[in-house]
Amino acid sequence: MNEMIEKPSTTVRLNKHLALNLGISRREADNLIDRGNVTINGAITTLGTRFNEGDKVAVDGKEIAAKTKYQYIALNKPIGYVCSRRQQGDSPTIYELLPESLHQLKTVGRLDRNSSGLIILSNDGDFTYHMTHPSFFKTKIYNVRLESALAPLHQQMISDYGVQLEDGPSKLQLERMNDVDRKSWIVTMHEGRNRQIRRTFGALGYTVLKLHRTNFGNYTLGDIKPGKFEIVDKI
């Protein structure tokens, strides 16, 4: 008698599908499912659900079309651009620098309008979560130019003790960029609080004139020109 050969499953895990196509983490996808926001062919789903090709997956009644693959790009953001989809006042958005085929990608963290340098964009929600959540301690490196020379005492305060901000202490690793002056610094940090570097120096009376990110985790800006981008691999 011939033995039955079990065919490999062709079903897709629902939370993985949502993470890819919504640009969220699988944890966030599970939360959507658990709240009853997700349906398959009109029926509310539960955690751990799988579905077949051709089934209609919807979130809050809106069908989710499948994307082809995860994408990752590194962009050299110029000063004056904002990391949002909508223009803010007269400030253009970084999406104006990208072809329309990449407009569905989301920024992995942000840089403020007056900052420049490395921005990663992706549609991989799990990747974004691991790159930005404080528990993963992703190193970020910036070139910083101050309006006035940083006093040695303030350098020691920032590097060794930290500066108290309204949302908690801020400790940065500082390295002089040259031996000529004390205005130009290489700043290394592992957090990602809003405008943290500017606020840290500002708390001691210094104004940041230039803030340019060169490294984020395992990614480096390299020779990408301002306003240009490169497709990169997941590292």
- Is residue 40 within 8 A of residue 26, CB to CB? The reply is no
Amino acid letter for position 147: E
CB-CB neighbours of 60 under 10 Å: 10
Query: Active-site residue among 112, 160, 223, 233?
Result: 112
Phi then psi for 212, rounded to 5 degrees? Answer: -130, 115
Smallest Cα–Cα separation from 27: which of 116, 97, 130? 130
What's the rounded Cα separation, in Å, for the pair 98 and 82? 13
Helix (H, G, I), strand (E, B) or coil at 81: coil
Q: Which residues pair with 121 in a beta bridge?
A: 73, 107
**Helix ranges restricted to H, the chain:** 14-22, 26-34, 125-132, 152-156, 196-202
Question: Is 90 a catalytic site residue?
Answer: no
Could you tell me the strand order of the sheet in which 62-63 lies?
A: 43-44, 38-40, 57-59, 62-63
Phi then psi for 103, rounded to 5 degrees? Answer: -70, -15
Positions marked active-site: 112
